[in-house]
C-alpha cells in the first residue's frame, strides 16, 4: 500500500461503508477490530447476502479490506491512519481475519473502478519514484534536511568547478 503513492485517509463515505478514491486519496471508513469482529462480520454478511443480495455494503467493505491488507505492514499503516482500531493482540490476526473473511463469497464489487484506478496509478513509474524518493530521502525532518544539504553542497561544488575551469582560460 505504501508504494502506491495513494494517500489513505479516514473518511465517512456518502454511501456508508464503501471506500472511495479522490485523485490520489483513498478514503476508508473507520473500523474497530475486536475478538468478536470476524463472527459479527460473517453473520451480517450472511444476512446481507440472503435478504439484500443487491445491497451488500458490508460484504463489499470486507472484500475491499481483504484486497488492501496482505501483510502486517498494511495493518500497521491503517492503524497509523486511524482507519483500523486494533483491539487484538497482534496485527497478524487482523491479516488472517480479513484474508479469510470473504472466502467462498462471490461479489461483483461496486468499487472495481476504484481498484483499477489505484493499480493504474501505481503502474506509472513516476508515482513509484516519488514514493521511493519521499520514503528514502524525505521521511522525516532530519533526512529531509540532510538531503537538501547534500544537494546544496553538490551544487556549490559544481559551481566552484565551473568557475575554476573558466578562470584557467
Mean pLDDT of the chain: 82
C-alpha cell belonging to residue 125:
513509474
Give the model's pLDDT for residue 154. 97
77 and 144 part of one domain: no
85 and 163 part of one domain: no
Q: Is residue 69 one of the residues assigned to a domain?
A: yes
36 and 10 part of one domain: yes
C-alpha cell belonging to residue 24:
490520489
Provide DSSP, 91-108.
HHHHHHHHHHHTTT----
Q: How far is CA 11 from the centre of its chain?
A: 13
Give the model's pLDDT for residue 10. 67
Distance CA 17, CA 13 (A): 6
pLDDT surpasses 90 at 114: no
Averaging pLDDT over each range in 2-11, 86-95, 104-113, which range is the top one?
86-95
Give the model's pLDDT for residue 15. 54
65 and 146 part of one domain: no
83 and 156 part of one domain: no
Give the model's pLDDT for residue 19. 55
- For residues 131 and 141, the model is more confident at 141
72 and 144 part of one domain: no
Write 34-39 long-range contacts (CB < 8 A, 24+): 34/87, 34/88, 35/87, 35/88, 37/97, 38/97, 38/101
Show the domain range for 29.
2-124
98 and 28 part of one domain: yes
40 and 109 part of one domain: yes
- Contact 29/19 with Cβ under 8 angstroms? yes
Give the model's pLDDT for residue 68. 86
118 and 144 part of one domain: no
110 closest CA partner among 41, 8, 14, 5? 14
Give the model's pLDDT for residue 67. 84
Count of domains forming the chain: 2
Which residues have CB under 8 Å from 154's CB, separation 6+?
none
C-alpha cell belonging to residue 165:
575551469
Please state whether beta strands 25-28 and 7-10 pair in parallel, antiparallel, or not at all (unpaired).
Answer: parallel
Residue written as grid cell 505492514: 73
User: pLDDT, tens digit, for every residue of 95-107?
Assistant: 999 999 888 877 7
21 and 78 part of one domain: yes
Please state whether beta strands 7-10 and 20-22 pair in parallel, antiparallel, or not at all (unpaired).
Answer: unpaired
106 and 145 part of one domain: no
What is the pLDDT averaged over residues 11-35? 69
Confidence of residue 5 (pLDDT cuts 50, 70, 90): very low
Give the model's pLDDT for residue 58. 87
Q: Is residue 48 one of the residues assigned to a domain?
A: yes
Amino acid at each position: 500500500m505504501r508504494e502506491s503513492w495513494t494517500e489513505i485517509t479516514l473518511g465517512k463515505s456518502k454511501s456508508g461503508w464503501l471506500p472511495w478514491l479522490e485523485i490520489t486519496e483513498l478514503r476508508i471508513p473507520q473500523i474497530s477490530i475486536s475478538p468478536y469482529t470476524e463472527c459479527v462480520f460473517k453473520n451480517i454478511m450472511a444476512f446481507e447476502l440472503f435478504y439484500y443480495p443487491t445491497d451488500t455494503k458490508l460484504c463489499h467493505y470486507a472484500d475491499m479490506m481483504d484486497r488492501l491488507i496482505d501483510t502486517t505492514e498494511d495493518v500497521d499503516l491503517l492503524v497509523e491512519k486511524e482507519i483500523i482500531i486494533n483491539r487484538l493482540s497482534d496485527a497478524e490476526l487482523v491479516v488472517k481475519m480479513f484474508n479469510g473473511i470473504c472466502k467462498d463469497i462471490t461479489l461483483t464489487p461496486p468499487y472495481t473502478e476504484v481498484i483499477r484506478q489505484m493499480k493504474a496509478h501505481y503502474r506509472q513509474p513516476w508515482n513509484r519514484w516519488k514514493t521511493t524518493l519521499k520514503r528514502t530521502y524525505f521521511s522525516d525532518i532530519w533526512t529531509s534536511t540532510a538531503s537538501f544539504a547534500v544537494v546544496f553542497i553538490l551544487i556549490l561544488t559544481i559551481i566552484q568547478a565551473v568557475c575554476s575551469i573558466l578562470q584557467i582560460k
